[in-house]
Structure 1
Amino acid sequence: MSLDKLKLSKPLVASMTDAGFLTPKEVQTRSMSRILGGQDLLVVGPEGVGKTTTYVLATLMKLKYAFEEAPRALILVPDAEHVDLVLAQFELLNKNKTFRILGIDSRGAVDTQMNEITDGCDVIVAVPDRARALYLKLALNTNKIQLFIVDNAELIIKKGLQLPVVELANSAYKAQHLVFTELVHEKLTLMISPFMKESATTIEVDEIGEKEAEVYQQMLYMVPNFRTKLNLLTLLLNDEEVFDKVVIFVNTRLTAQTVYKNFNHTKEGEISIYRSLFFDDAGYDDIEDFKDNPDARVLIVANENLGDLDIQGIPIVLHLELPDQKETLIQRIVKREAEEVVSIVFSTDIELIEVKKIEQAVGERMEVIELPEDLKIVDPAPKTKKKKGEEEDASERGPAFHDKKASNLKNYNYSAGTKAKMTYKNKKGLS
């Protein structure tokens, strides 16, 4: 398919060709006509599918002429790094310098940025909190905004910048709204619902990279918060036959201690911490000692300053938290031996960003597993204090280890890796 299908101006087609874009991306063919037609749009797709190029092209097409005093396009991005990336894309495609494009973030002085805006600009690329500050100082006039664009919305939410986005969107009451994100979750819906039109269209582009390497079986639990993660972890580890040798990865040593303290340690040495932060916590300094001890069942490991760790021979690897660098997790799931290993990830909505990046890099989706029916979902709302004399409901606490249900009792003898796979295949209803 040629670029002519996008119905771009000749200068933009020339700029695209010069930049090496010879054919349009799927996201561009599916969304460009809707954007140019004035629709509100929610575009969902992984990194690298062409979302930024799409709205840069649309902005250059929609504005048509330049040099008005008030900006006509406001593009909100999560941080200064993304400001630079978007400005670079405009530089690449706005060859004849038709439009005045201004970047706004915390690296510049507010007074300087106020002067730059009032001197006149056509497009502003900004981080939400700084743009809001300039709006409140009456430097940013949103009355003539035609295009209100939110890019990397999932990262904006992760940074807690929803309020300035909503406030700015509501102030640009005449604008067409375009939101680009890698994933959709409840917090995103809550952010965009005050300003996105009911007629808004959602376009999903679900591209995934080619499979780069063979990986162990990957499974994913989606949970609302960390406390629910701990409850889920407790339920899973109740099955001592399946989870008979487990490594649990968290991000910090303090979190490792929190997870350790969450369990009722009925069996001495059953649960331990790798290189514990506190000397009185049960722990190992050498993972081989954990592997060799038949009574040691669960080892909690912090990614913090970890370095290389040989987890070969351990059949089940749990990631209670996702590491800062996706490569850290990927190197643990790449197949090196013929052994059977199951990797299980616990993810909240916010962490799904990292899950998507891992799936893109590996070239394979994680299998989403339904939450157990008896899992206690923790309400994130603050609890009211109990009045003096009121008893605490013991059912809310729940022991970390309890008697198994009859349905969980087993009398067969398989290897640990095989048992883990069979257990989770049964949960999915597969033979």
Structure 2
Amino acid sequence: MSFSSLGLSPSLLKTLAAQKYEYPYPIQLKAIPLILKKADVLGIAKTGSGKTASYVLPILRNLQRSRDTKNRHVNVLVLVPTRELAEQVKNVFQKFGSVIPERIKTLAVYGGVSINPQMKALQGVNIVVATPGRLLELVESNAVHLSEISTLVLDEADRMLAMGFKEEMDRIYALLPARRQNLLFSATLNEAVSQEKELLLNNPEVIKIEDDDDKVDLIEQVAYYASDEKKGPLLRYIIKSKELKQVLVFVSSAFKADSVVSKLSNNGIRATAIHGKKSQGARTKALERFKSGQIEVLVTTDLLARGVDIDVLPCVINYELPRSPKDYIHRIGRTGRAESEGIAISLVSPDEAHHFKVIQKKMGKWVDRIDGDSINLHGY
């Protein structure tokens, strides 16, 4: 089935064709007609499955039909957990919204940067993509009003709840009109998301795209078992011997990320870090440099495990294992996307061996094992 059968406007269909979107993903195929009909929707689908476009396209179509609001009274609110995802969602709205005849203005607002430019930029905005804390600051400053919201979207709802935004989200809900469309999208359906569904959604249409993450068919996985002190040289050995040019390396903390980057740089590997202690400007610049190929290695915490789109990522390396099997799936799911192959490498210390066995059991797939301690790492 093609996009033309889903009820989108001619201008949106023209843009989809120009952007080489040939066929809708399963989540888009099911969600777009429902959202166009103003139904409440709960969408469960993995990261990289096309969730963002599945709500952006019908929201823009609905705004084309009706968009009469007062200044600073926005029509659509999208709540997201991170600054990076806010920018990404805004960019998708702008990519499709810039070519339709109606002028629809989208703005992303988040903390970590000055609030004053955001306050000024909210003039005439129709769609706000926001992290909860900064949105409340803007509301308290009378820079934006939520009383005329027609559609509320929670994107990466499970992650927002896990990150402790529940109280702020409840404060935001209290400011919204009772009659509105609610769209809740999540990679997982856990107890917290189920509770949020009961609170927010009115007779929702539930879409659950079967999770292929457990199969990870397109991802080649391998694990190097080595002592902690050998992980640094082993990482450099893997990158250099395999001539890897675009690698996302996951670590457990901001301190470790900076430490790994320092050692990579000292050994002639272009690397930078992204984590929560970096300024938004530094995080944005680092991601842009990585995407453009100016640097070979991006070291990050689980900040980039989900939500941020990197079109083609050939390799992911777990320098340290995540706490849960689900987080492991989200991490390695950054590669092997859009039907392209990818490789996921894990460096497993003796202390992590049992945990990695649990991860493999939950995943339902056993990972090829290499004895990292037996590799000659002299010179790395």
- TM-score over 0.5 for the pair: yes
Match of 1:264 in 2: none
Question: In structure 2, do the counterparts of structure 1 residues 323 and 100 end up closer, same or farther at CA, with 3 Å as the change threshold?
Answer: closer
Aligned residue for 1:41?
41
For the residues of structure 1 that align with 2:89 and 2:333, how far apart are their CA atoms? 25
Deviation at 1:102, TM superposition (A): 1.8
Report Cα offsets for 1:83-141 as digits up to 9, x if no partner.
22112112211114621212212255434433433x33211111111112222333322
Residue 90 (str. 1) matches residue 93 (str. 2): yes
Query: What SS does structure 1 have at the residue aligned with 2:220?
Result: coil
Equivalent position of 1:139 in the other structure: 143
Whole-angstrom CA distance in 1 between matches of 2:200 and 2:129: 19
Deviations 1:48-72 (A, max 9, x none): 1111111110110112244632211
**Secondary structure of 1:157's match?**
helix
Q: 1:107 to 1:67 in 2, by over 3 A?
A: farther
Query: Structure 1: which 5+ residue stretches go unaligned?
Result: 217-245, 248-272, 276-285, 288-301, 309-321, 333-344, 365-416, 426-431
Against the structure 1 CA distance between its residues 97 and 61, is the aligned structure 2 distance closer, same or farther, given a 3 Å change threshold?
closer
Letter in 1 for 2:317: T
SS at match of 1:135: helix
CA contact (8 A) 2:45 2:188 kept: yes
The equivalent residue for 2:165 is 161
Q: Aligned letter for 2:96? A: L
C-alpha distance 347-39 of structure 1, shift in aligned 2 (>3 A): farther
Deviation at 1:192, TM superposition (A): 4.3
Q: Verify the 8 A CA contact 1:162 1:191 in the aligned structure 2.
A: no
Secondary structure of the equivalent of 2:134?
helix
**How well do the aligned residues superpose, as a CA RMSD in angstroms?**
4.2
Q: Is the CA contact (8 Å cut-off) linking 1:170 and 1:195 kept in structure 2? A: no
Change (3 A) 1:109 1:67: farther
Counterpart position of 1:176: 181
- Tell whether the 8 Å contact from 1:182 to 1:353 is kept in structure 2 after alignment: no
SS in 2 for 1:35: helix
**Pairing of 1:341-380 with structure 2 (within 5 A):** 347-348=323-324, 352-358=326-332, 361=335
Which amino acid letter does the alignment assign opposite residue 127 of structure 2?
A: V
Paired residue for 2:198? 193
Find out whether 1:106 has 2:111 as its counterpart: yes
Contact 1:77 1:126 in 2 (8 A): yes
What displacement does 1:207 show? 4.0
Deviation string for 1:181-224 (max 9, x for gaps)? 11122233344432222x123211234554332657xxxxxxxx
Change (3 A) 1:82 1:323: closer
Secondary structure at the residue paired with 2:172? helix
**How much has 1:358 moved relative to structure 2?**
2.5
The one-character-per-residue Cα deviations of 1:135-190 (angstroms, maximum 9, x if unpaired) are: 23333222211100011223323432222222222322222111111112223334
> 1:52-131, aligned counterparts within 5 Å?
52-63=52-63, 64-66=65-67, 68-69=69-70, 70-94=73-97, 95=99, 96=101, 98-117=103-122, 119-131=123-135
Task: Name the amino acid aligned to 2:218.
Answer: K
**SS of structure 2 residue aligned to 1:328:** strand
Q: Can you list the C-alpha shifts for 1:207-252, whole angstroms capped at 9, x where unaligned?
A: 4554332657xxxxxxxxxxxxxxxxxxxxxxxxxxxxx98xxxxx
Q: Does 1:328 align with 2:328?
A: no
Give SS of 1:171's match: coil
Change (3 A) 1:353 1:201: farther
Structure 2 partner of 1:4? 4
Gap change, CA 1:354 and 1:68, over 3 Å in 2: farther
The structure-2 alpha-carbon separation of the partners of 1:359 and 1:86, relative to structure 1 and needing over 3 Å to count, comes to closer
Distance 2:102 2:33 in 1: 24
Q: After TM superposition, give the deviation of residue 359 of structure 1 in Å.
A: 5.4
Stretches of structure 2 that go unaligned for 5 or more consecutive residues are 235-251, 265-299, 306-315, 343-353, 363-380
Range moving further from structure 2, 165-174 or 34-43: 165-174
Q: 1:79 to 1:212 in 2, by over 3 A?
A: closer
Separation of aligned partners in 2, 1:104 and 1:214: 37
In structure 2, the CA distance between the partners of 1:165 and 1:323, relative to structure 1 (3 Å rule), is closer
> How much does 1:328 deviate?
3.1
Relative to structure 1, is the Cα distance of residues 165 and 354 closer, same or farther in structure 2, using a 3 angstrom cutoff?
farther
Match of 2:31 in 1: 31
Deviation readout 1:323-380 (Å, 9 max, x if unpaired): 7587333x89xxxxxxxxxxxx8855xx72443342574799xxxxxxxxxxxxxxxx
Distance across 1 between alignment mates of 2:103 and 2:66:
8
Paired-residue identity, %: 20
Higher Rg = 1
What CA distance in whole angstroms lies between the structure 1 residues aligned with 2:142 and 2:197?
24
Higher helix content, 1 or 2: 2
Match for 2:193: what amino acid? L
Q: Which amino acid aligns with 2:155?
A: D
Provide the aligned length of Structure 1 versus Structure 2.
Answer: 270
